[in-house]
C-alpha cells in the first residue's frame, strides 16, 4: 500500500527535529495510519533504534521488573506463588505496619523515625562541611599545596563501604583478652570524652554512639569530594570583584559576606535541593555493615528493616510494603525538589 | 584601614591552613594506622601501643594472607567482575546514550523518562532480590552457572552515567557529523570515529564511575553469590571481619603477629590498587561532578 504520506514527519533543518507534515491530505492519512508511519520512520533509521535496545532491555529486566514484583506488597501469600497468582490483599500489610499496634508496627515506626533522623543530621552536619572546605581551598594559593590537600581529602571517597566500615569497626572496637581497644576509643577515653566502660564495651555496641559515628564517618568520607563543585564555583569568581571590594575597604569577612557567598549561592541552593531530594536514600549498605542487635534502637532504618524481614526472614510482603512507603515519600521529595530547582534557578536537575 | 584588612586576611589564612591540615591528616590517618598495625609486632598491637609508626616490624601477617588461596581467588573474582562489568555497562550505555542524543529519535522524551524514572524510584531490596532470584534461574537454565556473570550482567546500571554520556554527545558539533556522513560514514562509524574520540574525557569519567562501583560492590554480590569460591574481595573482607572471634584469635597464640594485624593487612591489600591508580584518575572524578548538573 503506497501511502500519500510516506514522509509524514519532515526533517526541520532549523531546529534539527522532525515536524509533522502540515499538508491536510497528509494529516488525514496520518490520523488513519499513525503506527504505520511510525513504523516506517523507525525502519528508515533502524540502526539508531537497534542501538537503544540493549539499554532498554537491561533497565526493563533489572529495574522495571522489580517494580512489578513490588506488587507483592498488595498480595496475600508470601513468596510461594508468583506475584501474578497471589490473591489481592489490599492494604493489609500497610495497615499492619502503620497502625498494627504490635511490636512489628512499633519496629517499623522506629525504622521510619531513624531514617528521618539520620538523614536530617546528615544534612545539617554534612552539608556545610564541603562549602567550608571549598572556602579554605580557595585560601591556598600555591597550586602544589592545594593539590596535596585535595588529593588527601578526596581519598576516603574511593574506599569501598566495606573497607571504610571495617576501618571504623577496627578503630572503635572493644578490647578483649587478645586484642587492644580501637585507637579512637582509646584516645576518646583517655581524653575523658567517653567513659572507660563505654570504650571497653565497644562504641558500636552502644546505641548512643551510632548516629555520631555514622555522621562523622560520612563527613570523613564525602566532604572533600563534595567540595569540588563548590570550589569550582568559587574559582569562577572574577578577581576584579575582590579588588573592587578591597578598594571599598572590605576586610576578609566582608568579602566573604558580600562577594563570595552571593556568587556561590546558586550552587549552594542547587546542591541543597539535590540533597533534600535524596534525603531518604540512606545508604543501607553502610548501616547494615555498622549496626548490630545492640544498636537497632538508633540504627535500624527502613531498608535494613526490610532487609531483615524480607531477605533474612520470610515476611516479603511486609518488607516490600515498608520499602514502598519509604520510596514513595523519597520520590515525592525528589520530584518536589526538582520542581523547586526548576522554578528557582531555571536549572532542572534531571 | 589598610592595616585592619591585612590582619583579617592573615587570621583567615591561618585558620584555613590549620583546619585544612587537620582534616587532610584525619583523612589520611586511618590508612597510615592500618598499615602500621598490619606490620607491627604482636604485643604492640594487642596492648594498643601503636599510635602512628609501627613497632617491632614483622611481615608475617601479610605472608599469611598471601599464602591464603581464598584471598587470591577473591582478588581475581573482583578483577573479573570489574573488568567485564565495566565493559558491559559501557557498551549498552554508550549505544543508548548515542541514540538518545539524537533529536530525530522518535519517542525521545519517553525513553528519557524511562531512564530518569529509575533515579526517582527504586523498587527496593526485597523485590530486587526476588527479581535476581528469577534471573539466576533463567541464567542457570541457559547454562550460565557461574554467579559472577549474574553480577556482571544484571547489576550496576546507572541512569546518571547514561545521562552524562548523552550530554557529552549532544555537545558534539553537528557539522562534524554531517561532514562524516557526506564522506559516506555509516551510523556506527559516526559513533566510533566522531563521537567517541570527541567525548573521550566523559567516557573515561563514566568508565571510572562504573569501574569503582564494581570494584566496591558488596551487598548484592554477597546475596547472590552462594559459592564462596566466587566471592569478590569486598565480601571476602567482610566475612573475615565477621568470623573474626576471640576463639580464632586464641588459636593463633604462637604467631608473631596479633590477630588484628591480619584484618589490617587485608584492608591494606584491598586499597593498594586504588591508591596506585588514584593519582591518575583523580582529575576525571573532579570533572565528573562538575558536569553532574544536568538539564534536559
Looking at beta carbons, which residues of chain A come within 8 Å of B294?
349-350
* Cα separations in angstroms, B135 against A266, B142, B152: 44, 11, 12
Residue A202 domain boundaries: 93-345
Give CA–CA dist A52/A46, Å, rounded.
10
**Per-domain residue ranges of chain B:** 69-290
Report how far residue B282's alpha carbon sits from residue A155's, in angstroms, rounded to the nearest whole number: 9
Q: What's the CA gap between A117 and A315, in Å, rounded?
A: 26
Predicted local confidence at residue B201, as pLDDT: 84
Buried b (16+ CB within 10 A) or exposed e, A192-209: eebeeebbeebbbbbeeb
Q: Quick check: is A57 in a domain?
A: no
Range name among A3-12, A283-292, B216-225, B269-278 with the lowest pLDDT average: A3-12
Nearest to B20 among A67, A149, A176 (CB): A149
Euclidean distance between CA atoms B58 and B60, whole angstroms = 6
3-class SS shares of chain B: helix, strand, coil, % to 5: 75, 0, 25
Predicted TM-score (pTM) of this structure? 0.85
Burial (CB count <10 Å: 0-12, 13-18, 19+), residue B25: exposed
> What would the pLDDT profile of B233-265 be if each residue is shown by its tens digit?
999 999 988 887 555 555 566 677 777 888 889
B30: closest CA of chain A, how far (Å): 7
CA distance A27 to A10: 12
CA distance B208 to chain A (A): 11
User: Residue A173 domain-assigned?
Assistant: yes
Nearest residue on chain A to B167, alpha-carbon basis: A350
Q: Residue B86 — pLDDT band, cuts 50, 70, 90?
A: very high
Q: Average model confidence (pLDDT) for chain B?
A: 85
The pLDDT > 70 percentage for chain A reads 84
Which residues of chain B are within 8 Å of residue A49 when distances are taken between CB atoms? 99, 105
Of A11, A51, A171, the CB nearest to B104: A11
Residue A137: CATH number of its domain: 1.10.3720.10
Asked if residue A292 is part of any domain, the answer here is: yes
pLDDT band at B141 (very low <50, low <70, confident <90, very high): very high
Interface of B with A in 244-283 (CB under 8 A): 246, 249-250, 253, 258-260, 263-264, 267, 270-271, 274, 278-279, 282
**Average pLDDT for A212-225:** 91
Task: Name chain B contacts of A252, Cβ cutoff 8 Å.
Answer: 5, 8-9, 11-12
A160, B241: Cβ pair inside 8 Å?
no
Upper half-sphere CA count for residue A14 (Cβ side, 13 Å): 1
Q: Do A48 and B105 touch (CB under 8 A)?
A: yes
* Class of residue B236 by CB neighbours under 10 A (exposed 0-12, middle 13-18, buried 19+): buried
Nearest C-alpha neighbor of A228 from the set B100, B181, B165, B284: B284
Pairwise CA distance, residues B124 & B131, whole Å: 11
Residue A322 near residue A306 (C-beta atoms within 8 A)? yes
Return the residue of A nearest to B112 by Cα: A350
Q: Is B272 exposed, middle or buried (0-12, 13-18, 19+ CB in 10 A)?
A: exposed
Q: What number does CATH give the domain B69-290?
A: 1.10.3720.10
A residues 261..320 contacting B (CB < 8 A): 270, 284-285, 288-289, 303, 306-307, 310-311, 316, 319-320
Q: Which long-range contacts (CB under 8 A, 24 or more apart) does B17-20 make?
A: B17/A136, B17/A139, B17/A140, B19/A136, B20/A133, B20/A136, B20/A137, B20/A140, B20/A149
Nearest alpha carbon to residue B262 among B67, B27, B32: B67
B15 closest CA partner among A225, A249, A126, A133 = A133
Look at residue A34 and tell me if it is in a domain.
Answer: no
Do A163 and B122 make contact, defined as CB atoms within 8 angstroms? no
Alpha-helix residue ranges (DSSP H) falling in A45-91: 46-59, 65-69
| Residue whose C-alpha is closest to residue A291's, from A279, A275, A280, A303 | A303
Interface test with A, best of B127, B164, B191, B214 (most A CBs within 10 A): B127
Question: How many A/B residue pairs have CB atoms within 8 Å?
Answer: 297
Q: Which residues contact B214 (CB under 8 A, 6 or more apart)?
A: B81, B82, B85, B86, B156
Strand partners, A10: A19
Query: CB B106 to CB A42 under 8 A?
Result: yes
Picking from A59, A67, A133, the nearest residue to B157 by CB comes out as: A59
Nearest to B151 by CA among B215, B59, B240, B60: B215
Q: Which residues of chain A neighbour B126 with C-beta distances below 8 Å?
A: 69, 72, 306-307, 310-311, 316, 319-320, 323
pLDDT average, residue stretch A141-160: 87
Using a CB–CB cutoff of 8 Å, tell me whether B110 touches chain A. Answer: no
Q: What are A72-124's pLDDT values in tens digits?
A: 777 765 555 566 666 666 777 888 888 877 888 899 999 999 999 999 999 99
Distance between CA atoms of B59 and B42, rounded to whole angstroms?
11
Q: Would an 8 Å CB–CB cutoff place B173 in contact with chain A?
A: no
Residue A227 in any domain: the answer is yes
Q: Are A50 and B188 in contact (CB under 8 A)?
A: no
Are the beta carbons of B285 and A222 closer than 8 angstroms?
no
**Which among B127, B128, B260 has the least Cβ separation from residue A179?**
B260
Cell of B43: 604485643
Q: Would the CB atoms of B20 and A133 count as touching at under 8 Å?
A: yes
- Residue B177 near chain A (CB below 8 Å): no
Q: Which residues of B, range 57-76, sit inside 8 Å of A by Cβ?
A: none
Residue A211 lies in a domain: yes
How many domains is chain A built from? 1
In a domain, A39, yes or no: no
Mean pLDDT across chain A: 82
Residue of A nearest to B260 (CA): A179
**CB-closest option in A45, A251, A306 to B125:** A306
pLDDT band at B19 (very low <50, low <70, confident <90, very high): very high
Reply yes or no on whether the pLDDT at B292 is more than 50: no
> By CA distance, what is B250's nearest residue in A?
A178
Return d(Cα A221, Cα A283) in angstroms, integer.
13
Interchain proximity A229–B114, CB inside 8 Å: no
Per-residue pLDDT tens for A14-57? 666 666 666 766 667 767 777 887 888 888 888 889 999 999 99
Tell me if A252 and B11 make a contact (CB, 8 A cut-off): yes
Amino acid at each position: 500500500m503506497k501511502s500519500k504520506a510516506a514522509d509524514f514527519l519532515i526533517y526541520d533543518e532549523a531546529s534539527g527535529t522532525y515536524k509533522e507534515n502540515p499538508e491536510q491530505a497528509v494529516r488525514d492519512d496520518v490520523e488513519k495510519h499513525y503506527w504505520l508511519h511510525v513504523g516506517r520512520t523507525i525502519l528508515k533509521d533502524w540502526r539508531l533504534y537497534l542501538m537503544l535496545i540493549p539499554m532498554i532491555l537491561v533497565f526493563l529486566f533489572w529495574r522495571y521488573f522489580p517494580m512489578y514484583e513490588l506488587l507483592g506488597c498488595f498480595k496475600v501469600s508470601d513468596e510461594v506463588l508468583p506475584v501474578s497468582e497471589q490473591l489481592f490483599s489490599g492494604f493489609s500489610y500497610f495497615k499492619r505496619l502503620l497502625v498494627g499496634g504490635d511490636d512489628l508496627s512499633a519496629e517499623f515506626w522506629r525504622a521510619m523515625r531513624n531514617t528521618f533522623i539520620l538523614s536530617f543530621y546528615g544534612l545539617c552536619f554534612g552539608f556545610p562541611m564541603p562549602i567550608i572546605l571549598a572556602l579554605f581551598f580557595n585560601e591556598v594559593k600555591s597550586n602544589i599545596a592545594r593539590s596535596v590537600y585535595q588529593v588527601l581529602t578526596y581519598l576516603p571517597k574511593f574506599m569501598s563501604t566495606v573497607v571504610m566500615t571495617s576501618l571504623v569497626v577496627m578503630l572503635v572496637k572493644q578490647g578483649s583478652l587478645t586484642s587492644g581497644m580501637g585507637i579512637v576509643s582509646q584516645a576518646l577515653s583517655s581524653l575523658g570524652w567517653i567513659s572507660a566502660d563505654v570504650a571497653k564495651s565497644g562504641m558500636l555496641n552502644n546505641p548512643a554512639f551510632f548516629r555520631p559515628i555514622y555522621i562523622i564517618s560520612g563527613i570523613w568520607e564525602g566532604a572533600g569530594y563534595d567540595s569540588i563543585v563548590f570550589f569550582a564555583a568559587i574559582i569562577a569568581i572574577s578577581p576584579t570583584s575582590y579588588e573592587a571590594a578591597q578598594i571599598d575597604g572590605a576586610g576578609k569577612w566582608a568579602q566573604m559576606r558580600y562577594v563570595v557567598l552571593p556568587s556561590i549561592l546558586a550552587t549552594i541552593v542547587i546542591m541543597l535541593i539535590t540533597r533534600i531530594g535524596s534525603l531518604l536514600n540512606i545508604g543501607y549498605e553502610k548501616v547494615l555493615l555498622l549496626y548490630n542487635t545492640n544498636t537497632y534502637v538508633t540504627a535500624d532504618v527502613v531498608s535494613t528493616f526490610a532487609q531483615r524481614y524480607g531477605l533474612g526472614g520470610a515476611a516479603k510482603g511486609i518488607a516490600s510494603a515498608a520499602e514502598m512507603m519509604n520510596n514513595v515519600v523519597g520520590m515525592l521529595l525528589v520530584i518536589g525538589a526538582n520542581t523547586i530547582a526548576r522554578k528557582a534557578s531555571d536549572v532542572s536537575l534531571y | 584601614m589598610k592595616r585592619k584588612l591585612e590582619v583579617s586576611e592573615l587570621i583567615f589564612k591561618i585558620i584555613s591552613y590549620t583546619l585544612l591540615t587537620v582534616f587532610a591528616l584525619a583523612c589520611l590517618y586511618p590508612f597510615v594506622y592500618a598499615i602500621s598495625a598490619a606490620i607491627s609486632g604482636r604485643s604492640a598491637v594487642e596492648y594498643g601501643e601503636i599510635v602512628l609508626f609501627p613497632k617491632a616490624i614483622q611481615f608475617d601477617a601479610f605472608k599469611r594472607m598471601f599464602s591464603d588461596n581464598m584471598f587470591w581467588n577473591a582478588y581475581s573474582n573482583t578483577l573479573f567482575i570489574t573488568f567485564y562489568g565495566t565493559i558491559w555497562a559501557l557498551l549498552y550505555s554508550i549505544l543508548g546514550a548515542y541514540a538518545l542524543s539524537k533529536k530525530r529519535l522518535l519517542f525521545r522524551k519517553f525513553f528519557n523518562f524511562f531512564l530518569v524514572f529509575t533515579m526517582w524510584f527504586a523498587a527496593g531490596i526485597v523485590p530486587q532480590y526476588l527479581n535476581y532470584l528469577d534471573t539466576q534461574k533463567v541464567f542457570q537454565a541457559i547454562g550460565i552457572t557461574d554467579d559472577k556473570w549474574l553480577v556482571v550482567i544484571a547489576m550496576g546500571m546507572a541512569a546518571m552515567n547514561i545521562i552524562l554520556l548523552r550530554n557529552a554527545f549532544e555537545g558534539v558539533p553537528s557539522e562534524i557529523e554531517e561532514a562524516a556522513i557526506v564522506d559516506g560514514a555509516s551510523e556506527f562509524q559516526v559513533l566510533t570515529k566522531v563521537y567517541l574520540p570527541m567525548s573521550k574525557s566523559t567516557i573515561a569519567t563514566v568508565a571510572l564511575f562504573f569501574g569503582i562501583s564494581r570494584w566496591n560492590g558488596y551487598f548484592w554480590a554477597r546475596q547472590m553469590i552462594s559459592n564462596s569460591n566466587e566471592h569478590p574481595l569486598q565480601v571476602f573482607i567482610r566475612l573475615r571481619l565477621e568470623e573474626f572471634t576471640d576463639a580464632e584469635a586464641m588459636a593463633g597464640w604462637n604467631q608473631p603477629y596479633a590477630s588484628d594485624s591480619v584484618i589490617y593487612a587485608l584492608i591494606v591489600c584491598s586499597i593498594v590498587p586504588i591508591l596506585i591508580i588514584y593519582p591518575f584518575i583523580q582529575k576525571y572524578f573532579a570533572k565528573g561532578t562538575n558536569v553532574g548538573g544536568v538539564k534536559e
